[in-house]
Structure 1
Amino acid sequence: MRIAVVGAGAIGGVLAALLSRAGDDVVVTARGEHGAAIARDGLELSGGWGSFLARVPVVERVEPPVDLIVLATKAHDSAAALSAITGCDGTPVLVVQNGLGGADAARDALPHSPVAIGFALFAASLVVPGHVSVTGPAPLTLAGDAAAIAVALPALRAALPEEVTVTDDVRGAQWTKLLVNQVNALPAITGLSVQQVVAHDGLRRVLARGMVETAVVGRALGVKWAQLGSVGAAQVEELLADDSAHAERLPRSLAARMGDVPNPASTLQSIRRGRSTEIDALNGAVADAAARLHIPTPVNAAMVALVHEVERTGEFLPPAEVLVRVPRGNDPARTD
């Protein structure tokens, strides 16, 4: 199968290398030093799913023939990335991103293409240009258009060492992933790994409060939470139980499943590379939905503001300052 991976960063790079290792004909788009290193030396994979050097061409434009397009850029980069695809309207698209918006951008750019969404729970890092590493092996779940899933599913099951599943609840899966992606903001603000954030009593409580806000907003929207890996409706019920100790179980569980390799999360990786982050499509999506419902989400709003501050200044904030600057507000679990 000929597969184009648009945005071969950490997650996209892992998928490109694994699909190439499985025997697919893979081309990628990648920017700057990372793209130059792949073109020159190949795409190196390491970490939890083994080592492999993928000799994948780096292209500026994706042109037919292509059997599957994997869109793995940041959500806010989707429209620009899709403009580099020519003559492929009708080709199935798999969107593998954090946050909301990428699937809509794909449908706008390629209106005749079936679109599926991939919810990747595995953690990956861009170690140096041309080298990606799986720091936390975990499953991947697909949802969306059946025609796109029919093309992507067999390729991914042949390539990924972990389980690849399918859910018929796109919205539920999106909100469960937004809940999991609460782990992104605090590392980007502090420069700490996810595991370090969760190990810090004060930061873990902030993270748990952000998760509670997300659960409250999802409840108000009538979301039926899809099961993604270890996170689903049961974990959401714990968050909504109005018990702070229960709420902290989810961040503790997520950090424990990441193992000992420090997980910087994708938003911190963007900060370190001097790139704009996807925070508006993560905590920002929660805060925007909450505003429409008149539900207070002070933690999510603060996370957005503080991440943008770090983007502007290039200076991480010490945990003590974060705890002072994140308002506690009213307990969102009590909001009807």
Structure 2
Amino acid sequence: MRICVIGAGAIGGLLAAKLADAGEDVSVIARGPHLAAISANGLKLIEGDKETIAKVKASNRIADVGEQDLIILGMKAHQVAAIVRDLPAIYGPRTSVLTAQNGIPWWYFFKHGGPHEGARLESVDPGGVIADNLPIERVIASVVYPAAEIERPGVIRHIEGYRFSLAEIDESPTERLEQIAATFTRAGFKAPVVTDIRAELWTKLWGNATFNPISALTHATLEDICRFRLTRTLAEEVMREMKAIGEALGIRFRIPLEKRIAGAEAVGPHKTSMLQDVETGRALEADALIGSVLELGRIVDVASPHLDSLYAVVKLLGETLAREKGRLVVEPA
């Protein structure tokens, strides 16, 4: 399968390296020192004591890689709009586009079948740029569970997890979905085809939208947040508000709130992705992780004062970082 990973950062790089090592024809779109290192030395993946160097084609121009069977959008949600108009250059008649972003996706209400069918979310797709330029028929949804990091340019370190839940936007079974899942499985990933992708998105986001902003503001790990009484209480309040919004949209939460917090605590002294972004000066995913939930809350008329407050201070934190550094450094893509 011809696969192009756009955004060969931590998760995109993990996908590209393992898919290439499994024999797929993989190209990556990257830039800067990351691109230079991949072009010169290949894409190195470290998994525990194992190191592999994947041979991938690397470029900073999407049009250079030619027609693809599968395009994986590996960048963060706020970066998708900037590249979406370039994708037709590598479309074939049956090219699929897999979204691998955190947070509520831009396509959430497309092929949804509910009262808000076709509604666009300004928080994650300002001006509808993505929806207008990426045909929904090409889109495959995913929920990303692995943790990885860029150790240095050209080198990805896997931390934990190999699961990517996959689904069609309308949650129907299709041949192309089964083919993509089989390709991921051959590469060593767990790739279940699910029929409740939005519920699974919410389950993951339930923790992400709670712990990411708290950690970014306090510089505390998941373990610290859950063990300190005041921040644990704040996390509980935020999660109750999120649960109310999700349930108003028809989402069923399958695990109790207390179990979700216990799971976060069990991860131990782990820095959330937003805290890592603060430390390295990258743009914060405030809108995809938090602003999108607030927008959904307005749609279903559910108040979320604790989450509102977290969003306000995290947005200001992002603006402050941008001013102090002159610009926010965007991770290799």
2:80 corresponds to: 78
Q: Secondary structure of the residue that 2:166 maps to in structure 1? A: strand
Residues 8-42 of structure 1, C-alpha deviation per residue, up to 9 Å, x if partnerless?
Answer: 11111111111112111111112333333322332
What are the within-5 Å matches in structure 2 for residues 110-189 of structure 1? 110-111=134-135, 113-144=137-168, 146-161=174-189, 163-182=190-209, 183-189=211-217
Query: Closer, same or farther in 2 for the Cα pair 1:181/1:38, shift >3 Å?
Result: same
Counterpart AA for 2:91: C
- For the aligned residue pairs, the C-alpha RMSD in angstroms reads 2.5
What are the within-5 Å matches in structure 2 for residues 60-71 of structure 1? 60-62=61-63, 63-71=65-73
Tell whether the 8 Å contact from 1:68 to 1:151 is kept in structure 2 after alignment. no
1:204 corresponds to: 232
The CA distance in 2 between the partners of 1:140 and 1:112, in whole Å, is 20
1:222 corresponds to: 250
The CA distance in 1 between the partners of 2:315 and 2:14, in whole Å, is 27
Query: Residue 110 of structure 1: CA displacement?
Result: 3.5
Counterpart AA for 1:174: L
Query: Residue 156 of structure 1: CA displacement?
Result: 0.7
Query: Closer, same or farther in 2 for the Cα pair 1:7/1:64, shift >3 Å?
Result: same
Q: Which runs of no fewer than 5 residues in structure 1 stay unpaired?
A: 226-232, 240-246, 316-336
Query: Closer, same or farther in 2 for the Cα pair 1:61/1:49, shift >3 Å?
Result: farther
Residues 64-106 of structure 1, C-alpha deviation per residue, up to 9 Å, x if partnerless?
Answer: 3311111111112112122332141641111111012354776
Query: Closer, same or farther in 2 for the Cα pair 1:39/1:205, shift >3 Å?
Result: farther
Normalised TM-score (structure 1): 0.78
Query: Closer, same or farther in 2 for the Cα pair 1:169/1:300, shift >3 Å?
Result: same
Of the three residues 300, 303, 308, the one matched with 1:296 is 303
Query: Closer, same or farther in 2 for the Cα pair 1:132/1:185, shift >3 Å?
Result: farther
Residues 163-210 of structure 1, C-alpha deviation per residue, up to 9 Å, x if partnerless?
Answer: 321111232222223213233222222333333333333223222322
Query: Closer, same or farther in 2 for the Cα pair 1:110/1:255, shift >3 Å?
Result: same
Tell whether the 8 Å contact from 2:62 to 2:90 is kept in structure 1 after alignment. no
Residues 240-285 of structure 1, C-alpha deviation per residue, up to 9 Å, x if partnerless?
Answer: xxxxxxx3x31221342x3x5x533322333333222222111211
Q: Secondary structure of the residue that 1:184 maps to in structure 2? A: helix
Matched, 1:313 2:320: yes
- Quick check: 66-75 or 41-50, which moved more? 41-50
Query: Residue 6 of structure 1: CA displacement?
Result: 0.9
Query: Closer, same or farther in 2 for the Cα pair 1:111/1:292, shift >3 Å?
Result: closer
The CA distance in 2 between the partners of 1:80 and 1:296, in whole Å, is 32
1:25 corresponds to: 25
Q: Secondary structure of the residue that 1:192 maps to in structure 2? A: coil
Tell whether the 8 Å contact from 1:116 to 1:142 is kept in structure 2 after alignment. yes
The CA distance in 2 between the partners of 1:24 and 1:264, in whole Å, is 33
The CA distance in 1 between the partners of 2:46 and 2:288, in whole Å, is 29
Q: What number of residue pairs does the alignment pair up?
A: 293
Residues 205-242 of structure 1, C-alpha deviation per residue, up to 9 Å, x if partnerless?
Answer: 222322221111111122234xxxxxxx1x1xx23xxx
The share of aligned pairs that are identical, in percent, is 32
1:190 corresponds to: 218
Tell whether the 8 Å contact from 1:44 to 1:51 is kept in structure 2 after alignment. yes
Matched, 1:251 2:261: yes
Tell whether the 8 Å contact from 1:10 to 1:132 is kept in structure 2 after alignment. yes
Normalised TM-score (structure 2): 0.79
Counterpart AA for 2:275: L
2:113 corresponds to: none
Query: Residue 109 of structure 1: CA displacement?
Result: 2.6
The CA distance in 2 between the partners of 1:95 and 1:35, in whole Å, is 22
